[in-house]
Copies of this chain bind each other. A is one copy, B any other.
């Protein structure tokens, strides 16, 4: 008998099938280019266009595909400066005032993390002066003890979540 049922893993809409190879192939192409037609995808994966369409619809409504967006060039929209801000707080860092930073279009990510800091905030700004302004705003938040900022000098890779998974990472011998 089966020890784990598919029923265990559900989502808001319908049940989640553990993403077969065709799903992953479709997700892979769409994560690289979402402008291509279902017809061209169907050729790649070896299915008919409506079949691909139905799978994509399912992947959308089940939340695997969160959204489809245009990726903009930071410098071209006037924000050439990228930085990561580590925020140290006294007490609980994830306050309402802190999360209100998301109203700023310069703030792209806010993560609560383990390690010797509380929060990591990814920001993209127009200038060093704007970065200072953002830091000033962070220091206005109650409980902020200090920050450390890492300014990006060069970005060699910046992409969103990939569908693929390396299969040799978990079996790797880490004993030298």
B-binding residues in A (CB < 8 A): 16, 19, 24, 27, 30-35, 62-74, 76-79, 82, 84, 94, 99, 102, 104-117, 120, 124-127, 129-130, 132-134, 136-137, 148-166, 168-170, 172, 174
Identical chains in the assembly: 2
* Chain B residues closer than 8 Å to A114, beta-carbon distance: 150-151, 153
Q: Do A162 and B73 touch (CB < 8 A)?
A: no
Q: Do B157 and A105 touch (CB < 8 A)?
A: no
* Chain B residues closer than 8 Å to A159, beta-carbon distance: 108-109
Please judge, given known A-B contacts A71-B67, A150-B115, A152-B113, whether A108 and B157 are in contact too, CB under 8 Å.
yes
Q: Do B76 and A64 touch (CB < 8 A)?
A: yes
- Which of the residues B63, B106, B157 comes within 8 Å of A169, measured between beta carbons? B106
Q: Do A73 and B161 touch (CB < 8 A)?
A: yes
Chief secondary structure at chain A's binding surface: mixed
Q: Closest CB-CB distance, A70 to chain B, in whole Å?
A: 4
Q: Do B66 and A69 touch (CB < 8 A)?
A: no
A108: nearest residue on chain B (CB-CB)? B159
Please judge, given known A-B contacts A31-B70, A105-B163, A133-B174, whether A156 and B16 are in contact too, CB under 8 Å.
no
- Which of the residues B32, B107, B120, B155 comes within 8 Å of A69, measured between beta carbons? B32
Docked pose: A18 CA to B72 CA in angstroms: 15
